[in-house]
Amino acid sequence: MRVLLTGGAGFIGRHVLNELLRRGHSVRVLDSLRPDVHADGKTNSLDAELMVADVRDSAAIDRALVGIEAVLHLAAKVGLGVAVSDLPDYASSNDAGTAELLAGMARAGVNRLTLASSMVVYGEGIGHCPEHGPVRPAPRNEAALAAGNFEPPCPHCGRPLEAALVTEDAPLDPRNAYASSKLAQEFYASNWARVTGGSVAALRYHNVYGPGMPRDTPYAGVAAIFTSALRRGEAPKVFEDGRMRRDFVHVRDVAAATVRACEAHRDGVRAFNVGSGTPRTVGEMARALAETLKGPVPVVTGHYRLGDVRHITADSSRLRDELGWSPQVDFSDGMAELARL
């Protein structure tokens, strides 16, 4: 296929590009090289045609879509978005940018979209209450967090909830600016598909790590932050009590899932969780990295951010059952690889 890959010069985008090329596809990359991600403005020699432009530029979108059969849309402002002042940039970069891309696809008659979404659209996901069963956790509040009560409460009785795997049918509950913008992208894509008859595979990535992770920037994930600290000889600082559950999935597995969805999903709108299927705590990751890099023992700080979620872990069986994907990189092997970088 002739594919347009937006955000193809970024962390995940580079791995998706490699996977597309490995599978014989022809790729055009569209990337704005935004300075908060690409500080030096360099792309380190992409093995594909590169257009340096913003997805909000409708004329550039029209040029980029010439001859294209399918679009993989990864370009986005990422991060948590904890400040109210972040809202305009998320809304413009992610929501308006996606709207411009979809409008351009309609003009060009391109009807296949693979969208990089995120597990953050679930908020706290689903928890299990001993009395009320599966429930959506109540919002965490500042006073409880400050007192060290980190587990989200049952909205009915206030008891702490047990974490549970989240399926794609779980209630959507974005709790920060980035999450709201990713969910808006999914809604815009659904609107586009309804009008044009196009297909959308929305891939809800979980916590992605691996070679090429951004470091020491607002875009760095927790694995990159811990690794950077350890390489400076500092102990990783783990928020809350370190028991937050996540699904850490290797970037090559994410790339394989993304390309597989582009190739195989051709009808309607479908969301797919992309995770390893093995929940781990943030503290476990910090300890694994510290042991692998032979660095200081992690320090649990008790600090918190109100926009963070406590637990969010995926049930990725839909992706496995419907598209034939499964993760290939073991967690311990992935940690060892990070140590060698």
Yes or no: say if 273 and 319 are a contact pair by the CB < 8 Å rule: yes
- End-to-end Cα separation, the chain, in angstroms: 33
Active-site residue, selected from the candidate residues 178, 188, 205, 209: 178
Model pTM greater than 0.85? yes
CA-CA distance, 249 to 21, in Å (whole number)?
22
Residue among 54, 175, 79 nearest 123 (CA): 175
Yes or no: say if 51 and 64 are a contact pair by the CB < 8 Å rule: yes
Mean of all residue pLDDT scores within the chain = 91
SS (H, E, C) 60-75: HHHHHCCCCCEEEECC
> Is the pLDDT higher at 67 or at 332?
67
pLDDT tens, position by position, 14-63: 999 999 999 999 999 999 998 777 765 555 668 899 999 999 999 999 99
Q: How far is CA 177 from the centre of its chain?
A: 14
Catalytic residue flag (residue 122)? no
- What phi and psi, each to the nearest 5 degrees, are found at residue 129? -100, 135
Yes or no: say if 319 and 272 are a contact pair by the CB < 8 Å rule: yes
Q: Using pLDDT thresholds of 50, 70 and 90, give the confidence band for residue 216.
A: low
Predicted pLDDT of residue 44: 60
DSSP assigned state of 314: B
Q: Using pLDDT thresholds of 50, 70 and 90, give the confidence band for residue 336.
A: confident
Q: Is 4 helix (H, G, I), strand (E, B) or coil?
A: strand
pLDDT reading at 219 higher than 70 = no
Strands (E), 110-217: 112-118, 127-129, 133-135, 162-163, 199-205, 207-209
Predicted pLDDT of residue 34: 84
The residue whose two tokens read 């190739």 is 263
Helices (H), the chain: 11-22, 58-64, 87-90, 97-108, 142-146, 177-196, 222-231, 251-264, 282-292, 317-323, 331-340
Predicted pLDDT of residue 81: 61
Q: Using pLDDT thresholds of 50, 70 and 90, give the confidence band for residue 217.
A: low
Predicted pLDDT of residue 5: 98
> Is the pLDDT higher at 38 or at 107?
107
Q: What is the dihedral of CA 334, 336, 338, 341, to 10 degrees?
A: -130
Q: Using pLDDT thresholds of 50, 70 and 90, give the confidence band for residue 11.
A: very high
pLDDT tens, position by position, 266-302: 999 999 999 998 889 999 999 999 999 999 999 999 9
